[in-house]
Chain A
Amino acid sequence: MSRQLDAQAGHGTGDFVTINIGPSHPAMHGTLRVVALTDGETIVEADPEIGYLHRGVEKLAENLTYHQFIPITDRLNYCSAITNNVAYEMAVEKLMGIEIPDKAKVIRSIMMELARISDHIVCVGILGVDLGAFTPFFYLFIQREELYEIFEWYNGARLTNTFGRIGGVEADLPEDFEERWRRLVPNLRKAIDETDKLLTHNRIWMDRTIGVTAFSAEDALNWGFTGPCLRACGVKRDLRKDEPYYLYDQLSFEVPVGKHGDVFDRYMVRMIEMEESIKLVDQLLKIYKEFGPDDPLMAKVPKVLKGPEGEVYAAIESPNGELGFYVKGDGSDKPYRVKIRPPCYMVYQAFPELVKGEMVADLIACLSSLNIIAGELDR
Chain B
Amino acid sequence: MNDWVIALIKVVFIWTWTLIIATIMTWVERRGSAMIQDRLGPNRAGPFGLFQPLADGIKLFTKEDIIPEKAHKILFNLGPILFALPAFSAYAVVPFGDKIVIGGKEILLQVADVNVGFLYIVAVGSMAVYGIVVGGWGSNNKYSILGGLRSTAQLISYEVPWGIVLLTTVMVYGTFSLREISLAQQGTFLGFLPNWGIFKQPLGFILFIVTAYAEANRVPFDLPEAESEIVAGYHTEYGSMRLGLYLFGEYVNMYTLAALMVTLFFGAWHLPYVDMSKFLSPFAYGIASFLVFFAKVAFFLWLFVWVRWTVPRFRYDQVMGLGWKALIPLALANLFITALVVQLTV
Contacts and interface: CB of A to CB of B under 8 A. Distances in A.
Nearest to A198: B310
A246 B146 CA distance: 52
A204 B146 contact: no
A25 B231 contact: yes
A339 to B, nearest CB: 34
Given A25-B231, A142-B38, A364-B228, A131 B142 contact: no
B226 A361 contact: yes
By size class, the interface of chain A is 20 to 34
A208 interface: yes
A132 B316 CA distance: 13
Interface in B303-324: 309-318
A133 interface: yes
B230 A134 contact: no
Interface string B112-147: 000000000000000000000000000000110010
Interface string A127-139: 0111111110011
B309 A134 contact: yes
A79 interface: no
A138 B39 CA distance: 8
Q: Max chain B CB contacts within 10 Å: which of A131, A133, A134?
A: A134
A132 B312 contact: yes
Interface in B239-291: none
A19 interface: yes
B172 to A, nearest CB: 30
Given A41-B146, A207-B315, A362-B315, A132 B37 contact: no
A189 to B, nearest CB: 16
A142 B226 CA distance: 24
Contact of A208 (B222, B227, B310, B314): B314
Interface string B202-226: 0000000000000000011011001
Contacts of B317: 41, 359
Contacts of B37: 134-135, 138-139
A336 interface: no
A20 to B, nearest CB: 8
A10 to B, nearest CB: 8
B310 to A, nearest CB: 6
B218 to A, nearest CB: 11
A202 interface: yes
A25 B228 CA distance: 8
A253 interface: no
A135 B310 CA distance: 6
Contacts of B310: 133, 135, 198
B142 A128 contact: no
A133 B229 contact: no
A132 B226 contact: yes
B36 interface: yes
A208 B312 contact: yes
Contact of B311 (A139, A202, A360, A361): A202
A302 B223 CA distance: 60
B228 A132 contact: yes
Contacts of A362: 315
A204 B313 CA distance: 7
Interface string A279-311: 000000000000000000000000000000000
B228 A202 contact: no
A27 interface: yes
B299 to A, nearest CB: 20
A124 to B, nearest CB: 13
Contacts of A128: 312
Interface string B34-48: 001111000000000
B226 A204 contact: no
A199 interface: yes
Nearest to A367: B228
Contact of A361 (B142, B143, B229): B229
Contacts of B38: 138-139, 142
A186 interface: no
Contacts of B36: 135
A131 B313 contact: yes
A17 interface: yes
Contacts of A361: 223, 226, 229, 313, 315-316
A41 B146 CA distance: 8
A132 B310 CA distance: 9
Interface in A37-61: 41
Given A41-B317, A132-B222, A360-B146, A202 B231 contact: no
Interface of B: 33, 36-39, 142-143, 146, 150, 219-220, 222-223, 226-231, 309-318
Given A26-B228, A135-B36, A205-B312, 20 more contacts: A41-B150, A41-B316, A130-B228, A131-B228, A132-B220, A132-B222, A133-B310, A134-B33, A135-B37, A139-B37, A202-B311, A204-B313, A207-B315, A208-B315, A359-B315, A360-B229, A360-B230, A361-B229, A361-B313, A364-B229
27 contacts: A19-B142, A19-B143, A20-B142, A25-B231, A41-B146, A128-B312, A130-B229, A132-B219, A132-B220, A132-B311, A132-B312, A132-B313, A133-B312, A135-B309, A138-B38, A139-B38, A198-B310, A204-B220, A208-B313, A208-B315, A359-B317, A360-B146, A361-B223, A361-B226, A361-B229, A361-B313, A364-B229
